[in-house]
Amino acid sequence: MNLRKHMGLLIIVVAAFAFSLALASPVSAQEQKPTKFVTIGTGGVTGVYYPVGGAISRLINANREQHGIRATVESTGGSIYNLNTIRAGDLDIGVVQSDWQYHAYYGTSRFSDVGPNKKLRALFSIHPESFTVVARKDANVTKFEQLRGKRVSIGDPGSGQRASMDLLLERMGWDHSVFGATFDLKAAEQSIALCNNQIDAMVYFVGHPNGSIQEATTTCDSVIVEVAGPVIDKMIEELPYYRSAVIPGGMYRGNPTEVKTFGVGALLVTSSDLPDDVAYEIVKAVFDGLESFKRLHPALEHLTRQSMATDAIAIPLHAGAEKYFKETGLIK
């Protein structure tokens, strides 16, 4: 056999071997990257958390070929449910109120029984929320104190509004017995119950505008109730996560003037167990797509990269978020 014949045979053997390898592993290199599934816990479907969670997952999933992360959204009871479920390791990420992020991390207030969750981490801050009380017009309630003796939905036990309502009542020296009756309605059920005259008032700690308050003010005649006075002023002064807030006039039917209340910030939190590269890619997806994120819900209108990296964050940042914020100069 001459050399050329040898070479020919060798080429055939090598080619056949490569071909058989290709057959044995028909998956492309891209598909081989294992998909990492993350679930985002939100709130009721007529609130802001749910559509915001949807917007976040859309931005993450748009680049899933590159980073391998696939996000899904779950409608939940709200902040308290999300914080408890993240602690239990059954939820990866959640949208929560800044007051309850603080208490969950430090193990204070309603988290004093379970103790601190030192694994809780912030990803980024989102929209402002206002403690919102809506009453039927015929209930003649325009100020919070006038809720005495009324039928009030104080919120689902897993919700942020319920926890903040209980805290407010405690500071006022009130308890549930001052009301004529209390109901634990889910966020999405409250407006319907209000307009069906099953309750006189509902409480929702939520960003504006939102579907629930819109439903309550368009289905029947109802008014947004002022939550102000010395107890609120003292709360804002003493507790760093509370601020004064207003619900703008003219945003909802039958409510032409602005109403005073107090507020918090909503933020996205997770556990330190979430891998750093996953947290990094999630933050990057939202910050890179910020302009389209803001267009997805009117409550997101005033967000800036800077406010989202710092506002309302009272616990350590997740290392992946910190890396992104440092890289982009948002924090030092």
- At 143, list the tokens: 């100020």
Site string for ligand GLU, 112-141 (x = CB under 6 A): -----------------x------------
Q: Which residue matches tokens 């006039």?
A: 249
78 in contact with ligand GLU (CB under 6 A): yes
Does position 47 interact with ligand GLU (CB under 6 A)? The reply is: yes
Tell me which amino acid residue 169 is. L
Residue range at the interface with ligand GLU (CB under 6 A); choices 22-30, 40-48, 223-231, 309-317: 40-48
Least spacing, CB of residue 230 vs ligand GLU, in Å: 25
In whole angstroms, the minimum distance from the beta carbon of 127 to ligand GLU comes to: 9
> How far is the C-alpha of 144 from the C-alpha of 230, rounded, in Å?
12
- Site map 254..293 versus ligand GLU, x via CB under 6 A: ----------------------------------------
Question: Judged by CB under 6 A, does residue 44 bind ligand GLU?
Answer: yes
Task: Pick the binder of ligand GLU from 205, 252, 262, 324 (CB under 6 A).
Answer: 205
Which amino acid makes up residue 8?
G
Q: CB nearer to ligand GLU: give 48 or 309.
A: 48
Closest CA to 46 of 196, 222, 209: 209
105, 118 contact by CB (below 8 A): yes
Of these, 117, 159, 191, 217, which contacts ligand GLU (CB under 6 A)? 159
Name 228's Cβ contacts closer than 8 Å, sequence gap at least 6. Answer: 143, 144, 260, 261
CA distances 70 to 48, 76, 181, 205, Å, are 21, 19, 44, 29
In eight-state DSSP terms, residue 226 is B
**Piece in contact with ligand GLU (CB under 6 A), picked from 39-47, 168-176, 191-199, 274-282:** 39-47
Other beta carbons less than 10 A from residue 272's beta carbon: 15
Amino acid symbol at 86? I
Residues in contact with ligand GLU by the rule CB under 6 A: 43-44, 47-49, 78-79, 97, 129, 159-161, 187, 205-207
